Structure 1
Amino acid sequence: MRLLQALFFPPEQPGGVSSMIPYLQERFNSPRWEMELFSLPKRIRNKGSEEIRFDTFDWTQYGESPIVQKYIQTFRDYLWWIKLRIHKPYDLIHAHHPIAGLAMKKAFPATPLIQTIHSSYERELILNGKIEENGLEHRFLTSLYGELEHAADCMLTVSESFRTYMSPYVKSPEKIGIVPNGFDEKRFKPIPHENEVPQLVTVCRLVPAKGIDVLFEACCELKKRGHDYVLHIIGDGPIRSELEELAQQLGIYNETIFYGYTLHPEEFVPFFDIFVLPSRAEAFGSVFAEAALSSLALVGTDVGGISEQIEDGVNGLLVPKDNAVALADALEKVIQDPLYRYELARSASEKAKTEYSLRRSVHMLKKLYLKFEPAN
């Protein structure tokens, strides 16, 4: 069976999709399966010129928005790149971005399409202050869910919470399947260690949606309470300079280390003790599963896919979003009690190995793919 995994970003880019898709190939390496990856290189810009039309709505009513215009041009570029690069047929296409799925269906209308929605671009833009809720861009981006439902032969997402989020924008939400991101356990090697000072770590893109400002306020509170710690920030983004300035204003700069973007954080995350990320929204939250497989204690916000991964007090701690005091209280619990921290980490690791293993995701996908296997 000839399979094409259609990504948007190249597979080496950080993010939830890259946590699973590039590792699928070796698991599908058998005479029965032939899998290839496809993505749009960053250098491809403003190449496409084809007229874009959707079947379920008229995108031009939102066309005065520069963000919408950029999105449509990226669609054209992706379609141009498909026609330039793909010269053989596939039995099935599995797309992991709306542009990838819609462009593939336009180029190959007779080929079955599975579409996975991994996250919400519109929600990220709202939380990061780039667009307004119910504005032109928001309405355009949410209209795409209905277009994807119309185009795809099968719709998937990564968590129950995100299926609920999409429900108002599609006709048959009950038909959307759930396949969580899967993680190759061989990449994660817990390392026995004893840090005299508790080491906190977060891995994320530095944007407002990730709530790092709330984390800094919580760390300031911890310092006021007399707790020693070191906070490691792995990742980069547009608000890094603002966060560095905030750390200085709050008096926690000396306790905070900014690493910038790191390609393989799993190589040194196991040396830390506590993973914390107070996101304001997450469709799944791959970094929590990765931290669990590295045997770190988890502290996160009670939102989206995070609350599906963490059972509060059992395999991690959950706090309300935008609540620095509650976050400080949770961090204080795991800082003060190493044994409790260990028990949370052990439970988190066991759940991640059971529910978020690459083996389980591959098994689910193979069963689904076989439904589209062409008859001999």
Structure 2
Amino acid sequence: MRLLQALFFPPEQPGGVSSMIPYLQEKFSSARWEMEIFSLPKRIRGKGREEVVFETFDWTEYGDSPIVQKYMQTYRDYLWWTRLRLQKPYDLIHAHHPIAALAMKTVFPETPVLQTTHSSYERELVLNGKIEEGGPEHRFLLAMYGELEAKTDQLITVSDAFRRYMAPHIRHPEKVKIMPNGYDERRFKPVPHENEVPQLMAVCRLVPAKGLDILLQACARLKERNVPYVLHLIGDGPSREELEQMAQDLGVYDDTIFYGYTLHPEEFMPFFDIFVLPSRAEAFGSVFAEAALCCLALVGTSVGGVPEQIEHGVNGLLVPPDDAEALANALEQVIVDPSYRYELARTACEKAKSNYSLNRVAIELKRLYLSYEGRGRQTV
């Protein structure tokens, strides 16, 4: 069976789809399967000229927005690159971004196209202050869910919470499959270690949606209580300068290390003790599963798919979003009680190995792909 995994940009960022799809190829390396990965190179800009018409809504109603214009140009570019580069026929295409899914179905209309939605781009833009909730860009991006439902053969998402989020914007939410991402355990190896001072870490883009301002406020409370810690922030983004200034203003800069972008954070993640990410929104929260596989204690917020990974008090701790006091209290619990911290981490690791293994995902995907066998193979 000839498969195409259609990504958006090349899989070079840590987390999410990039933590799964490239590693799936080994699971599909047999005479029975042939898998390729396709994406839009970042150098491709402004090449597409194709006229675009959607089936379920008129996107030109939102065409005055520069964000919508940029989104549509990227879609045209993806169409242009797909027509230029793909000449082979495929038995099935699995897309991991709305633009990729719609472009593939346009170029290969008779080929089954499955679409996994990994995150809520519009929600992140709202939380990051880029667009207004209910504004034209927001309405445009929400309308894309209906277009995806109409055009693709199967919608998939990574959590039940995200299926509920999509439900008001599609006709048949009950038909959406839930399939959490999977992770190759060989990349995440717990390392026995003893840190004299507990080491906290977060891995994410430095944007408002991740709630790192709340984390710094919580750390300031820990310092006031003389609770020892070191915070490691791994990632980069537009909020970095603001967060560094905030750390200085709160008096926690000397206890905080800003690493910037790191390609493989899982290589040194096992040497930390506690993974904390007080996100304001998460479709699934892949980094929690990755941290669990490294046997770190987990502290997160009760948003999106995070509570589907963390059972409070069993394999991690959950706090409300935007609550620095509650976050400080949770962190203090796992900092001052190493035995409790270890028990949470051990249980989290066991659950992650059971529920989020790459082998499990590969088996589920093979079963799903085979259900479409023989339904179409078409060249451009």
Asked whether 1:319 is paired with 2:319, we answer yes
Aligned to 1:206: 206
Corresponding letter in the other structure for 1:311: E
- C-alpha separation in 1, matches of 2:366 and 2:329: 43
Asked whether 1:259 is paired with 2:259, we answer yes
Q: TM-score normalized by structure 1?
A: 0.99
- C-alpha separation in 2, matches of 1:9 and 1:46: 15
Aligned to 1:86: 86
The answer to whether the Cα contact below 8 Å between 2:12 and 2:18 also exists between their aligned partners in 1 is yes
1:98-137 CA-to-partner distances (Å, cap 9, x unmatched) read: 0000000011101111010111110000000000111000
Aligned to 1:131: 131
- C-alpha separation in 2, matches of 1:14 and 1:55: 34
1:221-245 CA-to-partner distances (Å, cap 9, x unmatched) read: 0000011110000000011000000
Corresponding letter in the other structure for 1:367: R
Corresponding letter in the other structure for 1:62: Y
- C-alpha separation in 2, matches of 1:166 and 1:72: 21
Higher relative contact order (Cα pairs below 8 Å, separated by 6+ residues)? 2
- SS of the aligned residue for 1:304 comes to coil
- C-alpha separation in 2, matches of 1:133 and 1:238: 20
The answer to whether the Cα contact below 8 Å between 2:111 and 2:375 also exists between their aligned partners in 1 is no
- C-alpha separation in 2, matches of 1:210 and 1:375: 41
Q: TM-score normalized by structure 2?
A: 0.98
Aligned positions of 1:1-376 closer than 5 A: 1-374=1-374
- The two structures, once aligned, show a CA RMSD in angstroms of 0.8
- C-alpha separation in 1, matches of 2:254 and 2:41: 39
Identity of aligned residues (%): 73
- C-alpha separation in 2, matches of 1:120 and 1:266: 24
The answer to whether the Cα contact below 8 Å between 2:292 and 2:349 also exists between their aligned partners in 1 is yes
1:204-224 CA-to-partner distances (Å, cap 9, x unmatched) read: 000000000000000000000
- SS of the aligned residue for 1:3 comes to strand
- C-alpha separation in 2, matches of 1:15 and 1:147: 27
Corresponding letter in the other structure for 2:239: I
Aligned residue-pair number = 376
- C-alpha separation in 2, matches of 1:186 and 1:54: 43
1:375 deviates by 7.4
- C-alpha separation in 2, matches of 1:199 and 1:350: 22
The answer to whether the Cα contact below 8 Å between 2:14 and 2:264 also exists between their aligned partners in 1 is no
- C-alpha separation in 2, matches of 1:141 and 1:355: 31
Any unmatched runs of 5+ in structure 2? none
1:326-367 CA-to-partner distances (Å, cap 9, x unmatched) read: 000000000000000000000000000000010111111110
Identify if the C-alpha distance between structure 1 residues 375 and 68 changes in structure 2 by more than 3 Å, giving closer, same or farther: closer
1:284 deviates by 0.4
- SS of the aligned residue for 2:305 comes to helix
- SS of the aligned residue for 1:346 comes to helix
The answer to whether the Cα contact below 8 Å between 2:210 and 2:279 also exists between their aligned partners in 1 is yes
Corresponding letter in the other structure for 2:120: S
- C-alpha separation in 2, matches of 1:373 and 1:58: 33
1:93 deviates by 0.3
- C-alpha separation in 1, matches of 2:282 and 2:293: 19
- SS of the aligned residue for 1:300 comes to strand
- C-alpha separation in 2, matches of 1:108 and 1:67: 27
